[in-house]
């Protein structure tokens, strides 16, 4: 590996680490603003440039929040397991950042020195990117469970426990939703998956059922409302990070927003065409500087849209009860994911066998997959597997 390549990777890592940390901080502001707006309030709008009267719509708020939380006492409860207590947020944050190694944040940049174009991903050409991402995001669960256990507190423990059950339950539909995409794209590399969508249409349109399953599972994986049971404030104080304060709390909170970004990026890259926008970005590998930056812009805008959707949903739906969450995961999403995979596989095999790849045929097969979505939803509604009888059991009746 040449020095130039090492430098390239270091620069990309620096951009990602700095950019994501900043994005995380500003997403907190965005979240608070969205919360305020949906509740007819104004939200934080006072903090601007310090020692001046410029308020800049509250854009200084993340800095003030960060300064505040860093200056807070970093307290460790006496009963806590000190080693694990310190280790948990570090694991959580590292896993959160490590996930971005394989996620492309654009297409390519034209080379400066006349060599190959620069791929806008930290680890380019990693042909098991999807598997890597799933492995790393599973480690994040480890940080949550560890934090809950090491705190030696009931609330933290319950939060950690719920989190482990929830994340395991929703990892399955997430994987099943992904399976359809990977099967059609024929690759585990995110760049390849985007390239496949530029040819065959966005997977969100051709596999709507898988899209639905994946989005719902992604909400649960990112522990966003309506699935934020690991840290539901009303029942568990703060969930697994109840006992944390100061810097270590900040690490937990920031990682949650990193998860939000990861989930949004996955949704965009796997189902919404990544940097591709028909008629605007082009599909070819060779792009000029303008085209390359346009693709980065398109990808970022899509991710922002998805994040806004996440935040809007937060104030739309109340939190699921624990048994409802489990029922939705195991009884609804898992079968739907399987149905989606079977439907995708069958439709693709039919297309391959009879060579029905033209424009109208593609549209027809997409219509069939929308029909599959409608039928599955209808089946779920009629069977209603979510309904549970919670009455106390009476012996002998």
Partner 1 sequence: MKADDPGIRWLGPARLTLAEKLYLPLFVHGLTTTLRHLVKTVCGRSVTVSYPEEEPEIANPLIYRGVHRLNRDSQGRVKCVACFLCATACPAHCIDIVAAESPWPDREKYPEQFTIDELRCIFCGMCEEACPVDAIELTSLYNLTGRSREEMVFDKEKLLSVYDMTKDKEPMQSSRLGGTL
Supply 110's token pair: 């034209």
| d(C-alpha 292, C-alpha 302), whole Å | 16
Supply 228's token pair: 């934020």
Taking the complex as a whole, how short is the minimal distance between the CB of residue 379 and partner 1, in angstroms? 11
Taking the complex as a whole, how short is the minimal distance between the CB of residue 387 and partner 1, in angstroms? 8
Supply 93's token pair: 């944050």
DSSP symbol at 119 = E
The count of chain residues that interact with partner 1, using the rule CB under 8 A, is 26
Please report where in the chains the tokens 């042909």 appear, as a residue. 127
Phi/psi of residue 386, nearest 5 degrees: -75, -25
Could you say whether residue 379 binds partner 1 (CB under 8 A)?
no
Sign, CA torsion 215/217/218/220: positive
The CA-to-CA distance between both ends of the chain, in Å, stands at 73
Of 17 and 383, nearer to partner 1 (C-beta) is: 383
Could you say whether residue 39 binds partner 1 (CB under 8 A)?
yes
DSSP one-letter string for 199-250: HH--HHHH-HHHHHHHHHHHHHHTT-TTS-GGG-HHHHTTGGGTT--HHHHH
Of 292 and 328, nearer to partner 1 (C-beta) is: 328
Site for partner 1 (CB under 8 A): which residue of 36, 161, 304, 368?
36
Could you say whether residue 38 binds partner 1 (CB under 8 A)?
yes
Could you say whether residue 54 binds partner 1 (CB under 8 A)?
no
Could you say whether residue 71 binds partner 1 (CB under 8 A)?
no
Of 78 and 391, nearer to partner 1 (C-beta) is: 391
Could you say whether residue 359 binds partner 1 (CB under 8 A)?
no
Could you say whether residue 45 binds partner 1 (CB under 8 A)?
yes
Site for partner 1 (CB under 8 A): which residue of 50, 283, 315, 367?
315
Give the SS3 label for residue 109. strand
Could you say whether residue 52 binds partner 1 (CB under 8 A)?
no
Site for partner 1 (CB under 8 A): which residue of 5, 41, 283, 375?
41
Taking the complex as a whole, how short is the minimal distance between the CB of residue 9 and partner 1, in angstroms? 40
- CA-to-CA dists, residue 214 to 1, 227, 337, angstroms: 37, 14, 8
Site for partner 1 (CB under 8 A): which residue of 1, 2, 3, 40?
40
Could you say whether residue 5 binds partner 1 (CB under 8 A)?
no
Could you say whether residue 1 binds partner 1 (CB under 8 A)?
no
Crossing angle of helices 129-150 and 246-271, rounded to 10°: 150
Could you say whether residue 127 binds partner 1 (CB under 8 A)?
no
Which of 137, 366, 367 shows the shortest CA–CA distance to 259? 137
Single out the segment in contact with partner 1 by CB under 8 A; choices: 15-23, 36-44, 62-70, 182-190.
Answer: 36-44
| d(C-alpha 126, C-alpha 369), whole Å | 30
Contact residues for partner 1 (CB under 8 A)? 34, 36-42, 45, 312-313, 315-317, 377-378, 380-382, 384, 387, 391-394, 397
């Amino acid at each position: 590996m040449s020095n130039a390549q090492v430098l390239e990777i270091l620069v990309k890592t620096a951009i990602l680490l700095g950019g994501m940390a900043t994005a995380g901080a500003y997403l907190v502001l965005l979240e608070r603003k969205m919360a305020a707006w949906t509740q007819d309030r104004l939200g934080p709008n006072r903090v601007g440039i310090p020692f001046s009267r410029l308020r800049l719509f509250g854009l200084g708020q993340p800095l003030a929040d960060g300064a505040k939380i860093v200056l807070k006492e970093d307290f460790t409860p006496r009963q806590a397991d000190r080693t694990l207590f310190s280790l948990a947020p570090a694991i959580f944050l590292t896993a959160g950042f490590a996930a971005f190694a394989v996620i492309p944040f654009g297409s390519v940049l034209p080379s400066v020195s006349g060599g190959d174009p620069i791929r806008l991903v930290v680890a380019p050409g990693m042909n098991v990117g999807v598997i890597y991402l799933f492995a790393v995001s599973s480690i994040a669960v480890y940080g949550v469970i560890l934090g809950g256990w090491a705190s030696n507190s009931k609330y933290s423990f319950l939060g950690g426990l719920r989190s482990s059950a929830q994340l395991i339950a929703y990892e399955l539909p997430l994987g099943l939703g992904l399976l359809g995409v990977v099967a059609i794209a024929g690759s585990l590399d995110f760049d390849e998956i985007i390239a496949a969508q530029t040819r065959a249409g966005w997977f969100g349109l051709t596999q709507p059922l898988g899209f639905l399953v994946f989005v719902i599972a992604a909400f649960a994986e990112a522990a966003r409302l309506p699935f934020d049971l690991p840290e539901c404030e009303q029942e568990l104080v703060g969930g697994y990070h109840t006992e944390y304060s100061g810097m270590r709390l900040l690490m937990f909170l920031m990682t949650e927003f990193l998860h939000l970004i990861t989930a949004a990026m996955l949704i965009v890259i796997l189902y919404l065409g990544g940097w591709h926008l028909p008629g605007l970005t082009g599909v070819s590998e060779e792009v000029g500087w303008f085209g390359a930056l346009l693709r980065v812009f398109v990808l970022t805008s899509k991710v922002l849209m998805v994040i806004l959707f996440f935040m809007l949903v937060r104030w739309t739906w109340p939190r699921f009860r624990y048994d409802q969450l489990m029922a939705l995961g195991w009884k609804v999403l898992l079968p739907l994911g399987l149905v989606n995979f079977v439907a995708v596989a069958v439709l693709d095999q039919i297309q391959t066998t009879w060579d029905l790849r033209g424009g109208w045929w593609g549209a027809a097969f997409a219509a069939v997959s929308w029909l599959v979505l409608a039928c599955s939803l209808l089946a779920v509604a009629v069977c209603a597997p979510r309904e549970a009888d919670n009455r106390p059991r009476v012996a002998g009746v």
